[in-house]
Structure 1
Amino acid sequence: MAAGKKQAGAGAATRYECSLHGLLAGGREPQLRARLEALCGDTGAARREVHHEIACVPCVETPAGAARREDHMLRLRLELDPDDPLDYARAASTVCLLGHPEPRANRGASVRPAMYARVFSDNAAQFLSLLGYRRHSEFVRRGYWFLYRGRFKVSVSQVLRLATPGDARSAQPVDPAGSWVVHVVADALGQEQVPRVCEQLDELRPLFADHVELVAVDHAFLENKIPYH
């Protein structure tokens, strides 16, 4: 099993995701949205989204030791129709592999390897099972996003937990106060592009400073570790 995991992404150039995160109080969301509309186009520039994200871990536990660092959690992202989020038959499925983040403290953003693969199958969960993975945890993310300067995706969303595993109808806000997560990301970058994009992300902070503080998350919180017990 471990040998198979090491081959994930073999032969493909490593691509990187650069990002900033912020936590927005529920009462400030309308002001941030107005700011994004001014920066990114007009009132029709926002794109709604609902994602059901399922974290999957290897079915076979790698023995304790250095080889465990080669294990990665895979995320199955189901992109649902915002107008009918319970219609899973039409959901677009993507498998996401987010690697170990760079520990550099001098970056203006969080940086980590990222790979995305669209699953053209009627049963993406079965596909992951065949890869040797099982469901570990899940959540739903609901909100909207803007595209800034044609490169930076600015997502504003609320995270929902599922009271009943696998049942999106049981989704409830993780934060009853109604806070929002703001995520600014540029993905699928080659290594040579990372320094400049991190600088550009750092330069974006003042544009949002009146509404939300955007930060580079400590790499320890982004580690893609398998929660073996």
Structure 2
Amino acid sequence: MASVKKYANAGIPTHYECSLHGLLANDHEPQLRTRLEALCGDTEAAHRELHHEISCIPCVETPIGPLRREDHVLRLRIEMDPKDPLNEEKYTNTICLLGHPEPRSGRGASVRPAIFAQVFSGNAAQFLSLLGYKYNSEFVRKGYWFLYRSIFKVIVSQIYRLEEEGNVQSAQPADPQGSWIVQVVADAMSQEQVPRMCEQLDELKALFEDFVELVVVDHAFLENRIPYNN
């Protein structure tokens, strides 16, 4: 049986993820990295990232009706050591619940609630099965990230699809042009902190405008609803 971190009052704290996204052409990536090194420290400030993310949906489909809106995708995020990606002893498993984003809020960033529960022991995939969830899709994300002002995480990564289910060694680039996804993310620990975080994120756009346009993603693309057929 897997075990997850326990919190006081039997609740896992909800954060509010505030973010901006952009698409970076492959030939602009070196210049952006140089800019990030100048803003965040030096060449040692970069953190390599290698994630295998599996999305899971309920095994039993909720009947058509209002209750369907309460169904969510759960994500198992497996963080691997980039230097030793096949060593499962070094994996960090986290179950992620990303809530519905604010619709057309007029804020300077996308905002959605986010809950993360780290699995400290046992089989995380089996634990999700016991919760009544089954495999839906998966991808691998490779790249790096910088921390700016100790608050803003700037993630520069590429998405890979898996040719063989569950086999990270079969990962192939999802975009043949080699484009990079740029995400600038800040966590607000309460709803009261959200407006200020969004304002600061909006101000950060100018730091990267020479390389990538950071935008507020339409909330429809960030919805976390189950992909039912009807």
TM value normalised by structure 1: 0.93
For 1:95-142, what per-residue CA distance to the aligned partner results, in whole angstroms no more than 9, with x for missing partners? Answer: 000000001341100000000000012311001011111110000000
Return the letter of the residue paired with 1:42: D
Match of 2:126 in 1: 126
CA offset at residue 24 of structure 1?
0.4
The answer (yes or no) to whether the contact 2:12–2:117 under 8 Å persists in 1 is no
Q: 1:55-94 alignment to 2 at 5 Å?
A: 55-94=55-94
Q: Which amino acid is 2:221 matched to?
A: F
- Unaligned runs of 5+ residues in structure 2 are 1-9
How many angstroms apart in 2 are the aligned matches of 1:87 and 1:23? 31
Distance in 2 between residues matched to 1:158 and 1:88, nearest whole Å: 22
Q: Secondary structure, in 3 states, of the residue corresponding to 1:120?
A: strand
Report percent identity of matched pairs.
72
Contact 2:12 2:115 survives alignment (8 Å)? no
Q: Which segment is superposed worse, 179-188 or 157-166?
A: 179-188
| Contact 2:188–2:194 (8 Å) recurs in 1 | no
Confirm or deny: 8 A CA contact 2:20 2:109 kept in the other structure: yes
1:6 alignment counterpart? none
Contact 1:114 1:188 in 2 (8 A): no
3-state SS of 2:45 partner: coil
Counterparts of 2:196 and 2:60 in 1: how far apart (Å)?
40
Q: How do 1:1-229 and structure 2 match up within 5 A?
A: 11=11, 14-229=14-229
Number of residue pairs the alignment of both structures matches? 221
In the alignment, the residues of structure 2 paired with residue 71 and residue 105 of structure 1 have an alpha-carbon distance, to the nearest angstrom, of 23
Aligned AA (2:212): V
* Contact 1:16/1:113, CA 8 A, preserved across alignment: yes
What per-residue deviation string (whole Å, max 9, x for no partner) do you get for residues 158-216 of structure 1?
Answer: 10000111110100000011110001001252100000000000000000000000001
**RMSD after superposition:** 1.4
